[in-house]
Amino acid sequence: MITALSRPFTSIEGVPVVTHVETDIFVRTYFMHCMKCDFCHDSCCGYGADVDATNLKRLEIHADALEAYVGVPRQEWFTGAYSEDVEYPGSRYTRTRVVKGSCVFLNRQGRGCLIHRYCMDRDLDFHELKPLVCSLFPLTFHEGQLFPSAEILDDSLQCLGAGPTLYRGAREDVRHYFGPELVAELDMLEARAAGG
């Protein structure tokens, strides 16, 4: 069910703006502790990811160090094709390349995202460099709506079922991007969805 929020909630970058929420985010569950998972083999990283134009500029600042860290030349990080979309910071986005069946930034000698790990190793907030859509996963946004990502909707995410709700898994990232007021409202909607 799609529920209207009390007001529009604008992200810290000006877009996206969330006006509605799909209440399935309070019901559907998944194994949220990605780095403790021993069964999915980072399958959610198999498609690459959208990277907004402003995120690309921030990555460029770290390109020399990140290139050495990732072990892939920066010219091979992105597809180079852009889509115009006013919901993305910078009004457009490109995608990370998929190499050998996974995102170019997947840690193939271990687990998880190398952008995320790079930030952790340098005491940086990963939200500064990791793509917005990756940070919000398993939630996503479109036309003002916050809702489950495609892998949830088509039941292809291997870790569906066991664990907390989609919302609980992304709650702190929602707070980072949209602020505590949206989280407070979503918490109330969550309690209502749970019958509380």
Domain spans of the chain, in order of start: 2-193
Burial 153-181 (b: 16+ CB within 10 A, else e): eeeebbbbeeeebbbebbbebbebbbeee
The pair of structure tokens assigned to 177 is: 């991007």
The predicted structure's pLDDT at residue 63: 98
The predicted structure's pLDDT at residue 159: 58
Judge residue 59's burial from the number of C-beta atoms within 10 Å of its C-beta, 0-12 exposed, 13-18 middle, 19 or more buried: buried
The predicted structure's pLDDT at residue 35: 46
Question: Which residues in the chain land under pLDDT 50?
Answer: 35, 37
The pair of structure tokens assigned to 150 is: 């495609």
The predicted structure's pLDDT at residue 194: 84
| CB-based contacts of 17, cutoff 8 Å, min separation 6 | 8, 9, 10, 11, 87, 144
